[in-house]
Amino acid sequence: MNYQNILDYGNNILSLNNIKTSQLDCELILSNILNKTREEILINLNAKVDQKQIEKFNFYLSKRKKKEPIAYVLGYKHFWKHKFLVDKSVLIPRPETEQIVEEALKFIPTNHSKMVLDIGTGSGCIIISILKERSKCKAIALDISFKALKIAKTNAKLHHLENKIKFINIDIDKFETSKYDLILSNPPYIKNVDYNRLDDDVRCFEPKLALYGGLDGYGELKKIIKKSSKLLKDNGKLIIEIGANQ
Ligand code: GLN
């Protein structure tokens, strides 16, 4: 079997299971197994795969077939300029959330040292991306999920930031420590009716805790905005992600 054959085979199985991104997902799976870029694969379609690689491909395929998001299947997701480890205990970083990073970088001039608070850090993607570009800053990152914090800590280590970010397992309601130049958050803000209508990939696999914002979707948003008024220094800034219709 060559690269082309295994991609066609996988693509066919995923399409039959109504996976819209079947071709891309198969390329990502193969790229992960062979430890080659998608480009390297696509210009070498006649190269052969061995039995072990086929077995691995089938293993990943069986997970994706059941709608498990490709990021969980592979165990990582790219966000901003870096790769982040993810598992089912954290939200998969979304491209739209990169806007928080963009706005934060505008607010922090290069070489300035600011104290940043990340509320609901999840995989840690936001705060890690920012600290990679602003080496003088330090941060506190909170999450109510202990399991999520474990992933965030691992990501901080992978990006050599373990000494710059302190991770705390606490609800923002109970957090009273210190004052911050900048507060960031991508909180759960999806309201009840919308949550029930989410795609299966999201609703059945990603943590409800990271997505669901209560009946009207405003519960966590209100909590964070209120608390930020106490935790921000004068002229500090809160950057928060909200839903398109909120
Ligand atoms: N801060 C993380 C992210 O943006 C997690 C957010 C969340 O769990 N709601 O991906």
Rounded to the nearest angstrom, the distance between the alpha carbon of 188 and the centre of ligand 1 is 8
pLDDT of residue 6: 98
Give the pLDDT score at 43: 97
Chain centroid offset of residue 197 CA: 21
Single-letter amino acid, residue 209: L
Q: What percent of the chain has pLDDT over 70?
A: 100
Mean pLDDT of 224-238: 97
- Mean pLDDT within 40-63: 98
Mean pLDDT for the chain overall: 97
Q: Would you state the pLDDT for residue 241?
A: 98
Residue 216's CB is within 10 A of a number of other CB atoms, namely 13
Tell whether ligand 1 has an atom less than 6 A from the beta carbon of residue 124: no
* pLDDT tens-digit series, residues 72-114: 999 999 999 999 999 999 999 999 999 999 999 999 999 999 9
Name which residue sits closest to atom 1 of ligand 1, judged by CA: 121
Give every CB contact of residue 16 below 8 A, 6+ residues apart in sequence. Answer: none
pTM of the model: 0.94
At residue 219, the pLDDT reads 96
Mean pLDDT confidence for 196-220? 95
Closest atom of ligand 1 to 100 CA is 4
Residue range 1-29: mean pLDDT, rounded: 97
Choosing from 91, 101, 130 the residue with most ligand 1 atoms within 8 A of its CB, the one to mutate for a pocket test is 91
Residue 150: predicted pLDDT: 98
Res 30: pLDDT: 98
Looking from the CA of residue 91, the nearest atom of ligand 1 is 8
Q: How far apart are CA 4 and CA 6, in angstroms?
A: 6
Q: Which pLDDT value is given to residue 244?
A: 92
At 149, is the pLDDT very low, low, confident or very high (cuts 50, 70, 90)?
A: very high
**Residues above pLDDT 90, as percent of the chain:** 99
Query: What is the distance in A from the centroid of ligand 1 to the CA of 140?
Result: 15
Say if residues 206 and 68 touch (Cβ distance below 8 Å).
Answer: no
The tokens 């066919």 sit on which residue? 12
| Per-residue pLDDT at 99 | 98
How many angstroms separate the CA atoms of 195 and 209, rounded? 11
Does residue 125 have its Cβ closer than 6 Å to ligand 1? yes
Q: How crowded is residue 232: how many other Cβ atoms within 10 Å of its Cβ? A: 17
CA distance 48 to 226: 59
Cα 189 to ligand 1 centroid, rounded to whole Å: 11
CA–centroid distance, 128 to ligand 1, in Å, is 12
Question: Does the CB atom of residue 186 touch ligand 1 within 6 A?
Answer: yes
Q: Tell me if 119 CB under 6 Å of ligand 1.
A: no
pLDDT for res 87? 98
Residue 168's CB is within 10 A of a number of other CB atoms, namely 13
CA-nearest of 97, 155, 95 to 128 is 155
